[in-house]
Amino acid sequence: MVLGLSGGIACYKTAELCRALVKAGASVQVVMTEAAEHFMTAVTLQALSGRPVYTSQWDAREANNMAHINLSREADALVVAPASADFMAKLLHGRADDLLSLMCLARPLDSVPLIVAPAMNREMWANPATQRNVAQLKADGVHVLDVGQGDQACGETGDGRMLEADEILEDLQAFFTPPVLRGRHVLVTAGPTYEAIDPVRGITNLSSGKMGFAIARAARMAGAQVSLVAGPVSLPTPRGVQRVAVRSAQEMLQAVQAQVDSVDVFIACAAVADWRPAASADQKIKKDGTGQTPQLHFVENPDILATVAQSPRAQSGALYCVGFAAESHDLLAHATAKRARKQVPLLVGNIGPSTFGQDDNALLLVDAQGATELPRASKLDLADDLIAEIARRR
């Protein structure tokens, strides 16, 4: 991958992006404009990429003196981050007066995508000329990333910031992921639910939400529109995913029912509490010194997965339902029984105590034909595998 830098204070973010790309397994060749060298040294990016940095079209290291041809032919993609307003205008008009713009113009259009991450002052971003340029670049086949919003180096606040390194990395990963769920709407539930006993106590479980959030991320990567109904967890919302925050099982059911009629796939990954207190005290239940314990009465929570799976759309096949089973033992037996009881085509089982709060997991996929194991791996990788499996079955 060629990582190009045009001039802008956001070059400092590109150093972190370069490091993240290398860590993700990419081979990164950095190319800088003269303006970029005023904000970041080539030495820094050489250290981070592990490759010599190119800054001039007259670089004598190339035997044929054609770095703009050689480097662009070797690349799987050309990413310009930051892409200044001036550089995007240059791209639009096909100007090629430095190595980076030469490479953008000379790249093979069919095999080397051009991806730009804009970065500029909010007024520059909002200027009609810039917006016209962005629209035309997109029409020309250039993939223009979004801009961020917030404090800017000039002291102003607004749109125009370059995305953070992790956001750009995620967008690049999504760009190269096969869009097997393009045009589909996926609804995911994740995390625990919390059932209040009084204003300061409640019943919950150890689910961290990491698996469900990873699934939502993977579905978005695969091109789907993704809605995420999440219990009380502190995880950041996956990029490009619409999140609805809930606490109790009843709130989760309401949030699911508000969207489920418009989705194509429902993945019930949340660890929903089976019971809740019949009544929640308005004030904290206090000890009175007598040793007597409060009497709590429980009622069963609604079964969200079964409710959706038994709906007419699910029964007709218009809605594909996937359930999860977090067990402590006898996973195959319990998951098989739960799949039949819930009437879902696919049930995903795991051993809860060995995965709650962890970054890895092992899954068992149970359907009408039997069971398939997905060996222990990171939750991100397992989520990718599961989404690919759902797309194949759907």
Instruction: List residues with catalytic annotation.
Output: 154
With residue 23 as reference, give the H or E element that holds it.
helix 11-23
Query: What does each C-alpha distance from 201 to 110, 190, 247, 284, 306 come to in angstroms?
Result: 59, 21, 13, 8, 28
**Measured between alpha carbons, how far is 76 from 137 in angstroms, rounded to an integer?**
19
* Token pair belonging to 265: 């796939």
| Coil/strand/helix, residue 362 | strand
CB 81 within 8 A of CB 168: yes
Query: b/e per residue, 267-284, with b = 16+ CB within 10 A?
Result: bbbbbbbeebbeeebeee
* Token pair belonging to 91: 């791209």
Cα dihedral 185, 191, 195, 201 sign = negative
Query: b/e per residue, 202-213, with b = 16+ CB within 10 A?
Result: bbbbebbbbbbb
For tokens 């703009």, the residue is: 68
* Token pair belonging to 388: 């690919």
Which residues fall within 8 angstroms of residue 70, CB to CB, at 6 or more apart? 62, 64
**Measured between alpha carbons, how far is 288 from 256 in angstroms, rounded to an integer?**
41
* Token pair belonging to 158: 């607004």
Backbone angles phi, psi at 160, to 5 degrees: 125, -15
Query: b/e per residue, 304-326, with b = 16+ CB within 10 A?
Result: bbbbbbebebbeeeebbbbbbbb
